[in-house]
A and B are shown apart, each in its own frame.
Chain A
Amino acid sequence: MRILLPIVLALSPAIALAQSTAPAALADTQLADPTQEAAAKALMETLRCVVCQGQSIADSDATMAGDMRALVRQRIQAGESPIAIRDWLIGRYGDYISYDPPLSAATSLLWATPVLLLGLGVWIARASFRRRR
């Protein structure tokens, strides 16, 4: 008994947390704090459902998406930052999961696109204006 007690004491907060926030419930239950819920919602909209086609986990009816919504809400509730949660998910599932492609060697060209195109366009237009003058 004496040996067991510390273990039970150590586990009890975890048990309490698990009871108060059953994952399945959080899949479709909003967080009480509107700021937290807004943060969770914003994050969920940028995460891709991995089993369905072209839907974010916020919009998907799939069970897998529900579990991920629950996970996001749980972690936001526990005070984790959305960026940390996303990084953790990317570490686990790969870049595919994020609709917001993280800046890396593979995506640098993608993120440079708007600036490059705008620069190219302005350059072409200016050249033709000067010719016209």
Chain B
Amino acid sequence: MWLAAALAALQLLMAALGLKGNGEVMAAVRPVAVVQGVLAIVAMGVLIAVFWRSDMSVALVAANSHSAKPWLYKVAGAWGNHEGSMLLWVTILGLAGGAVALLERRLPERTLIATLGAQAAIALGFYAFLLFASNPFARLEPAPADGMGLNPLLQDPGLAFHPPTLYAGYVGLSVAFSFAVGALVTRDVGREFARAMRPWVLGAWIFLTLGITAGSYWAYYELGWGGWWFWDPVENASLMPWLAATALLHSVTVLATRDGLRAWTVMLAVVAFSMSMLGTFLVRSGILTSVHAFAVDPRRGAFILALLVIYIGGALVLFAARVGTVRQGTMFDPVSREGGLVANNLLLSVILGIVLIGTLYPIVAAGFGVQLSVGPPFFNKAAGPIALLLVAIMAVGPLLRWRRDEAQAVIARATWPIAATAFAFAGLIVFAMPIGVLPLLGLSAATGLAVASVAPLWKRDLRRTPLFTWGMVIAHLGIAVSLAGMACDAAFTAERLIALRPGDATRIGPYRVTLDGISPVVADNWSALQAQLTVTRDGGSRRLYPQSRTFTDPPTTTSESAIATVLDGQLYTVLGVADGRGRWQLRLWWKPFVTLIWFGGVLVALGGALSLLGRVRPRRRSRPEPAWL
């Protein structure tokens, strides 16, 4: 790893030299970036190997692993802790840098070298952080007999999936950041730059979407309180980069297609990565206490904060110095596709600002000696209406023409979505009241958006519709689906708290739930009390087994929910404590259509993937044919 760090330093130095006009040095930057990526992967591989072998002489393994753990958690446990997760961060960073060096052929050489230089500068900072403040390979003498174990909340298949995807998203944004810095250094902001950056932004955004979706579902079934989003600071830490990336994705399209919004796009690329860094800082610094905050060492927090200030401050200074040289770009009317995308960026930025300030406000207030909490009621009230406005823009935006459009013609094109929204609104008022105002508007808007999102396909030859249009349609539809799921969950969830004796039954939603009995269960590293529930609906019946688990290393109790998933929703069951008189506390929810939330998230990511394919493929096709044909 020292070697990788040295190479990163070399890469930065060579990039700097190369830009001064030394051609030979410039040619060597690419291979160095690749080798650095490979070395980082080797380091991560070694860490996974020591976790796999449960090598207790490595301090990190001893503190976070246990020989009795299932193999999946031994491997995933490699990043289920502070040091390992930071190494994973750097590994993905090195990998991305190597990939840029290998694959990127569109950018002018100078800009690319500057980009790789910026990438190396980021990597160098994190290598320093790893080596000086949190070395994952620190040894322990003498080696203990066995490890302390992994936090039971993290012992879940979600751990194998959620952190790597989220980190890939964070780090993908670092590439966008490096591109922006590179382009600023060489004063080369334009369509080519946007086209080169777009696949990276798209890729990062797909990973962020998947990571957040996975994290949300994981929290939903693991924490046992039936919620899927709590506006917790760590959740916000992942949402903020996503919001910035979403805005960037749309503004980079304006830049690539119409050569507008130049300075704004560069600014957003810087902001997006700032949000990634800020997220890493908030989560890793120990300022917040949560399952994500492995490190409670203030020195480490200070280190990340210093990196944050250096990179972001540096980039902003560069931006301020060079923004004058970035020409304004092509002009357009307010009523146009560009105008819609500007509105999208504006509203996304406002939501981002609200989430950012809401998250940091209690921390800042605590600094002034004021204790207060900012939670779901604030975020829903403040961001909810703006999100609904955004949905309206999102429905109309794709129906707009580039450059200029007539307001009346737009309204004519949007007749069906508007009708669908009004229809859903009226239907809900008549049949489903009383539900809250936000769920009511949310469901109506979701209906309209669903209709509007497929409208661009109307009267088109579907086989000849480009893949990226399909991608947009599916991603927007995914948002509509997800929004519908959220609104349904908020409006129609039924909850039942009840203490039952074995043999007793109760009703929840369309289900009848019978407690058949309680029995003990034992596994490798935990034991549990398990309830056997028979749930019947319309004659069909199935069994559910919610548990209250007690882990031995470290000693902790968690409740493992049991969920019955059906087409029109989920039955969510949690086992509580015994009341000492033979009755067991149960917490039951019937959540109609709640699964749409995550299904929508996956659709959004799928839409992103289609767009990415659509953007990458034509490039291949347009390459000159080989000479021998």
Contact = CB atoms under 8 A, between A and B. Distances in A.
B is a partner of A = yes
Contacts of B349: 117, 121
Given A121-B346, A121-B349, A95 B382 contact: no
A95 B373 contact: yes
Interface in A1-48: 28-30, 41, 45-46, 48
Contacts of B233: 54
Interface stretch (B7-15, B53-61, B129-137, B492-500): B492-500
A99 interface: yes
B342 interface: yes
A54 B232 contact: yes
B374 interface: yes
Interface string B360-373: 01000100101111
Interface residues of A, number: 39
A107 to B, nearest CB: 7
B289 interface: yes
Nearest to A122: B346
Interface string A73-103: 0000000000000000000001111111100
Interface string B112-145: 0000000000000000000000000000000000
B375 A99 contact: yes
A132 B230 CA distance: 42
Interface string B322-351: 000000100111100001001100110110
B376 A121 contact: no
Interface in B509-527: none
A46 B358 contact: no
B350 A110 contact: no
Contacts of A58: 225
A117 B20 CA distance: 42
B294 to A, nearest CB: 14
A113 B498 CA distance: 42
Nearest to A129: B334
Nearest to A100: B377
Interface in B449-485: none
B108 interface: no
A95 B370 contact: yes
A111 B334 CA distance: 30
A28 B497 contact: yes
A30 B496 contact: yes
Contacts of A101: 372-374, 378
Residue of A53, A98, A111, A113 with highest tally of chain B CB at under 10 A: A113
B377 A99 contact: yes
A46 B379 CA distance: 12
A106 B346 contact: no
A48 B358 CA distance: 16
Contacts of B230: 54-56
A28 B372 contact: no
A95 B372 contact: yes
A110 B361 contact: yes
B365 A48 contact: no
Contacts of B498: 29
B153 interface: no
Given A46-B375, A98-B373, 4 more contacts: A95-B370, A98-B372, A113-B358, A125-B346
8 closest Cβ pairs, A-B complex: A99-B375, A100-B377, A59-B225, A132-B331, A95-B372, A96-B371, A121-B346, A117-B353
